[in-house]
Amino acid sequence: MKFYDCSMAPNPRRTRIFIKEKGLDIPTVEVDLFGGENLQEGYLSKTIWGLCPALELDDGTVISEAPAICSYLNDIHPEPPLFGTTPLERAQVISSDRHMEHSGMQSVIYAFRNGFEDFATRGVGGREGDKIIPELIERGRNGIKIFFARLEQQLSKSEYVAGDFYSMADITGLVVIDFAKFAEFEIPSENTNTLKWYEKVASRPGTQV
């Protein structure tokens, strides 16, 4: 296998953490997203969607998108079970991970990408020609506030994002919070459940990537 990574981007980091938590050693190829390498012929020949990360299998098959890559790796390397151990737990992890993406990651992307001059004509990931929209920055910043409020509410009910076990949803939540720092957002000091959770998940060996 070969893992196409970008050390500065959040979605590749989600996958890197997952790979490390699984104890896997997969050769890595760095992709310069900021320089637009993902939109050049070499990378597009691997995945026409132009998005990173991607996982190339030994037979040349390429899987793109962090959740799909992690789901595949979880199926072929089931321990530790980062998508739960029962059908219900798996559904809860997938649902919670999606909320981390939709409520959190997307909000930070609005706030960050639409204010980043290097993406002036790349307002949408994997494409060229979409101008950034400064008005979306405020939408993103408002979304981040809502994300923090809802995450705090969820963590008042369970030890981890999807329940009482560490999972893919915690990985995504951690990456969202670290990414939000680029939009000048930190966990609110009154969100004690989130702060306690963050300290716990951020100290795991697998997150140090």
Do residues 92 and 27 share a domain?
no
Please state, in angstroms and rounded to a whole number, the distance separating the CA atoms of residues 30 and 35: 12
What band does 127 get if pLDDT is binned at 50, 70 and 90?
A: confident
User: In this predicted structure, what is the pLDDT of residue 53?
Assistant: 97
Q: 82 in a domain, yes or no? A: no
pLDDT tens profile 57-82:
999 999 999 999 999 999 999 999 99
**CA 47 to centroid of chain Cα atoms:** 19
| DSSP-derived pairing of the beta strands 54-56 and 62-64 | antiparallel
CATH number at residue 52: 3.40.30.10
Q: 184 in a domain, yes or no? A: yes
**AA identity, residue 202:** A
pLDDT of residue 117 exceeding 90: no
pLDDT tens profile 176-188:
999 999 888 999 9
pLDDT tens profile 149-166:
999 999 999 999 999 999
pLDDT of residue 120 exceeding 90: no
DSSP the chain: -EEEE-TTSHHHHHHHHHHHHTT----EEE--TTTTGGGSHHHHTT-TT--S-EEE-TTS-EEESHHHHHHHHHHHS-SS-BTBSSHHHHHHHHHHHHHIIIIIIHHHHHHHHTT-GGGTTB-STT-SSB---THHHHHHHHHHHHHHHHHHHHHTT-SBTTBSS--HHHHHHHHHHHHHGGGT----TT-HHHHHHHHHHHTSGGG--
Do residues 93 and 170 share a domain?
yes
Please enumerate in sequence order all residues whose Cβ is within 8 A of that of 133, keeping only pairs 6 or more positions apart, or say none: 114, 123
User: In this predicted structure, what is the pLDDT of residue 58?
Assistant: 96
Do residues 131 and 70 share a domain?
no
Please, what's the largest Cα pairwise distance for the chain?
Answer: 50
Do residues 109 and 191 share a domain?
yes
Structural domain ending residue among the three candidates 41, 76, 111: 76
What band does 92 get if pLDDT is binned at 50, 70 and 90?
A: very high
CATH number at residue 142: 1.20.1050.10
Q: 81 in a domain, yes or no? A: no
pLDDT tens profile 2-47:
999 999 899 999 999 999 999 999 999 999 998 999 999 999 999 9
Q: 72 in a domain, yes or no? A: yes
Do residues 44 and 70 share a domain?
yes
Question: Please, are residues 20 and 13 in contact by the beta-carbon 8 Å criterion?
Answer: no
Q: 101 in a domain, yes or no? A: yes
Q: Is the pTM for the entire model greater than 0.85?
A: yes
Do residues 37 and 131 share a domain?
no
Do residues 113 and 57 share a domain?
no
Do residues 65 and 165 share a domain?
no
User: In this predicted structure, what is the pLDDT of residue 123?
Assistant: 66
Do residues 63 and 129 share a domain?
no
Structural domain ending residue among the three candidates 30, 57, 76: 76
Please enumerate in sequence order all residues whose Cβ is within 8 A of that of 157, keeping only pairs 6 or more positions apart, or say none: none
Output the six-digit token pair for 53: 């990360």
Task: Select from 182, 201, 92 the least CA-distant residue to 144.
Answer: 182
Q: 196 in a domain, yes or no? A: yes
Task: Name residue 148's beta-bridge partners.
Answer: none
What residues make up the domain containing 187?
87-207
Do residues 19 and 46 share a domain?
yes
Number of domains making up the chain: 2
Do residues 32 and 117 share a domain?
no
Do residues 96 and 165 share a domain?
yes
Q: 98 in a domain, yes or no? A: yes
pLDDT tens profile 44-62:
999 999 999 999 999 999 9
Structural domain ending residue among the three candidates 50, 76, 102: 76
